[in-house]
Each structure stands twice: as C-alpha cells, then as structure tokens.
Chain A
Amino acid sequence: MAPYDLTGMRILLTGAAGGIGAATARLCATLGAEMALTDCCDDPGLVAELSVGGRKHIFETCDVRSRAEVESFCARNLPIHAAILNAGIFPKEEWLADDWDEQFQEVMAVNVAGPANFVRVLLPHMKGRGDGRIVLLGSIAAHTGGTYAHSPMHYAASKGAIHTFVRWLARRAAPEVLVNAVAPGSTQTRMTAAANPDALKSMPVPRFGKPEEIAWPLAFLCSPGASFMCGAILDVNGGAYMG
C-alpha cells in the first residue's frame, strides 16, 4: 500500500467510537499503525477487534474540553507520530432556543478548544522529535454555512474556526510538522441520521459519503504520500461544494 503505508507510526485519534472515527481506526490499523484511541464514551470493542499481529492499541476515555485530561492522556501515550483530531458534536438546537448560548459554548469547547488542547501538547512533542502530522476535521459547513436549511449556526461556525486554525497552525508547525485537514460533506453516521437523503439527489455523487470514504483521506494525510502537503483542506463531499 506504499506510499500510504503507516507502519511504524503511532496515531492518536479522537472521537474514535463514532462512525468516521471507528472507520479511521480500522483503516489506520490495517495500514500498519498502532492506535491511541479516545472518546468520551467507553471502547466499543475496537481494541480487541484491531489487536492482531502484536500491535498494542489502546482506548481511553478523555474529555477533550479539559486541558488537564488531554495533557494526561497524551503524556501516557507518547510518542505520537500523527494525530487525527476527529471528535466533534453536532447538536441541532435552533438558535432562537433559550439554551442556545450554552449550546454554543459546548460546541466551541468540543469542536474547537478540544483540538486546540491536543495541539498544545502534541506540537512541541512532534517538533522536538523533528517530525509529525496533525490532521483536523473541517466540514463542508465551513464553506457553505451548512448543507441543510436547519444546519445549526454553532456547528458551522465551529468548523469555520477549524479551517482558520489549520491555516494559522500550518505555517507555525512547519517544517517539522505537517498540518492539514479533511472537510467532509454529508457522511452516513449517527450525526446525520435524521438528514433527508433527497437533498443529495442533485449532487454529482448523489448519496451520503461512507465513513470509509472519509477515513481514507485522513489516513492519506498521515502517510508518506502526503509529505509535501501543508495547510491544505481536502474537500470530500461528493461534489456538493466545489470551491
């Protein structure tokens, strides 16, 4: 599978229990990586499923909003060669709702501050080692303001923040650490379970994306095959948005 071989890499993956996360964990392990997995819930059985061939994968719960928990998780799991910062939430509350302010803070804490907490710890570690990859999860929502009429503003704004974070971080992390992102479109996961598939019929690829189809771009960005990519945001959306 060279140039996409991940043998010898230890990859940290947040949001590992979700649709995209689990698919990415499976793929990266298949490509040879050892996985340090985390989510806010317990391991849904990934470590047992992936632990073949002597590789030692781990799964620990970690609240990405907490700097202390993130620092502690990272400290226990170094070295890390690549980090895929996938954890994110997509609450659907209307912005006129009484508790919108609390929802906004929560979305920003998980979707933006969460990845920043990991970068704060991992960037100096990777720079000190002289190499590393950081892959962030953006979204088509950052480009379009939200795929559906009822897409929540706070989610779209949080992913816009991630796209800006990539651009801000990429130059600072280079040349040792390559920072890039994947911006998925509508992907078939728990997050989009309530979405109407009819809205996708006019797209060039008129269907939801599969979690595996997001996993491959994420793995690609961790691999030797992406060694000259820096600050790029890779759109994976079936042609729903072409910028």
Chain B
Amino acid sequence: MLLPDKIAVVTGAGSRQGIGFAAARLFAKQGARVALVDTDADALAAAAADLGEAALPIVADVRFEAECKSALAQVKARWGGVDILVNNAGVIQARRTLAISREDYDFVMDVNLRGVLQMSQQALAVMSAGSSIVCIASIAAQRGGGLMGGPHYAASKGGVLALVKSMAREFGPAGIRVNAVNPGVIRTGMTAGAYDGEVREKVISTIPLGRFGEPDDVASACLFLASDLSAYITGAAIDVNGGLHIH
C-alpha cells in the first residue's frame, strides 16, 4: 500500500470517466480514504458508491470560497485532517481569442485557477509535514491552447503551473510538497465528442505514442506525486502526453 491511512481530497471527481475519479479509485486501492468533491450530486453518489466506505461524497463548487471551506470542514469532521489534495476540477471551453467573452473568461478562470487557489488555501490550513498537493494543469499551458480549450483555458492552466511553483516554495520548509501533472489529450467524459472522426485521426497522428491517454495514465502520475515515492520532488510537473509536447 502506498497511501496507508492517508486522507485525500479530489476535486472534479464525480464523473466515472474522468481523471479525478480515476485518481480517487487508485488512491483508495492504495489504502487512502478519499473525499470526492464535485458539483454534480447524482454523479458523485454513483462515484462514491463505486468506492464504498473509503469514499466521502461532497457537493461543492470550487469557484466559491465558502463551499471550499465547507468541503474541507466536512473532511476534517469525518476523518480529522487532510494529507493529500488533488486539484482536478476544471472546465474546457472551445473558443477563438476574439470570441472569448467576459463571462467565458470569468467562468474558466474561476473554476480552473481560482478554484485551485481556494481549495489549496483551505487544505494548507490543516495540512502538516508530509502532505502533498497535486494540481492538474495541461499541455495547453505549455504550448498554447488547442482545439478543445481556448486561450483562456490555456491561460488558466498556465496560472496553475505558476501557483504550483509559488506554493511549493512557500510551503517547502513546512514539509508540504506541491506539484503538477500536465495531461495531453486524455479520453474522458469532458473530451468525449470534442473531435469528430477525421479530426480525431489527425490529432492521433501527431502523438508519438499513437493514442489518446487514459484517465488511469494521469491517475498513476497523481499517485506518484501524492505518495512518499516522490519525497524529493516539489515545484515540478510531470508531463503525461504521449510525446505530444517534448521540451
């Protein structure tokens, strides 16, 4: 067991086709108790049922500070503390630059970046030495937004990477590590149907490993960063993109 008796919080964990649920499932298999946070109550109930007693479903919208505070309070009340936070909740929005409205920008930034900051603030207030925060950023932050997420999505994920490094510097002396995973194109509920057949094949042809990634590919990197196996890694990012961005 790599996470014996650890308490983990995973946001955006409601979809059983998603990265968050894959991470939560893997963490539970490795001995953790996992709070699954999402806005979709029905999806959360089904996801938590899959994981059994190890799971605590919490309905919360990471855009709102009060809901982040309440989520962490529920975890602390149930299990006493938090050792791991996976900031996975995120939205994509296919837009060209000139079509991004103020509302679009605010929505994407609030979920993808403000949400990461707010959940991290609440978790850091109760974390102790040996804890780990993993933030899901994106290949889009590294190479610019693509077909699925617009420039504002890429900017939000670029902000996540900067936040990761800053939090890693600030909380390193306290023994808390903060890292990121940069997924490439991953087959999830969020991306299903984003490409039609011809575009899909064209995109796959640009990926050296010849396939989209699976949620478990990203979850595995999350587990590595969440556990003591990565005890000398902080402020870093693991690229899980099949070679789509080599830098």
B238 A232 Cβ-Cβ under 8 A: yes
Asked if B236 is at the interface (CB within 8 A of a chain A CB), the reply is yes
A66 to B239, CA, bound (A): 34
Partner of B2, one of A1, A231, A234: A1
B residues 192-247 touching A (CB-CB < 8 Å): 208-210, 213-214, 216-218, 220-221, 223-224, 229-236, 238-243, 246-247
Which of A3, A170, A228, A230 has the most chain B CB within a 10 Å cutoff? A228
Q: How far is the CB of A164 from chain B (nearest CB, A)?
A: 11
The digit string for B4-43, where 1 denotes a CB below 8 A from any CB of A, is: 0000000000000000000000100000000000000000
B169 A171 Cβ-Cβ under 8 A: no
Closest to A27 in B: B229
A205 B172 Cβ-Cβ under 8 A: yes
B217 A171 Cβ-Cβ under 8 A: no
A residues 188-243 touching B (CB-CB < 8 Å): 203-206, 209-210, 213-214, 216-217, 220, 224-232, 234-239, 242
Residues of chain B within 8 A (CB-CB) of A224 are 220
Asked if A174 is at the interface (CB within 8 A of a chain B CB), the reply is yes
A174 B235 Cβ-Cβ under 8 A: no
Closest to B170 in A: A204
Asked if A124 is at the interface (CB within 8 A of a chain B CB), the reply is no
Asked if A167 is at the interface (CB within 8 A of a chain B CB), the reply is yes
Q: How far is the CB of B36 from chain A (nearest CB, A)?
A: 20
Q: Known: A167-B247, A228-B217, A230-B208. Contact between A239 and B168, CB under 8 A?
A: yes
Asked if B52 is at the interface (CB within 8 A of a chain A CB), the reply is no
B residues 40-61 touching A (CB-CB < 8 Å): none
A230 B241 Cβ-Cβ under 8 A: yes
A204 B172 Cβ-Cβ under 8 A: yes
A170 to B115, CA, bound (A): 35
Name the prevailing secondary structure of the B interface residues.
mixed
Residues of chain B within 8 A (CB-CB) of A115 are none
A228 B229 Cβ-Cβ under 8 A: no
Asked if B80 is at the interface (CB within 8 A of a chain A CB), the reply is no
A206 to B175, CA, bound (A): 10
A228 B242 Cβ-Cβ under 8 A: yes
A29 to B223, CA, bound (A): 21
Q: What are 15 A-B residue pairs whose CB atoms fall within 8 Å in the complex?
A: A3-B216, A4-B224, A170-B243, A171-B208, A174-B208, A174-B242, A204-B169, A209-B232, A210-B231, A214-B232, A225-B221, A230-B246, A232-B240, A232-B246, A237-B232
6 A-B pairs with least C-beta separation: A204-B172, A230-B243, A231-B246, A174-B208, A228-B217, A225-B220
Known: A206-B172, A228-B242, A236-B236. 17 other contacts (CB 8 A): A1-B2, A4-B224, A171-B208, A205-B232, A217-B224, A225-B224, A228-B217, A228-B240, A229-B238, A229-B239, A229-B241, A230-B208, A230-B241, A230-B246, A235-B236, A237-B232, A239-B172
Binding site for B on A (CB under 8 A): 1, 3-4, 166-167, 170-171, 174-175, 178, 185, 203-206, 209-210, 213-214, 216-217, 220, 224-232, 234-239, 242
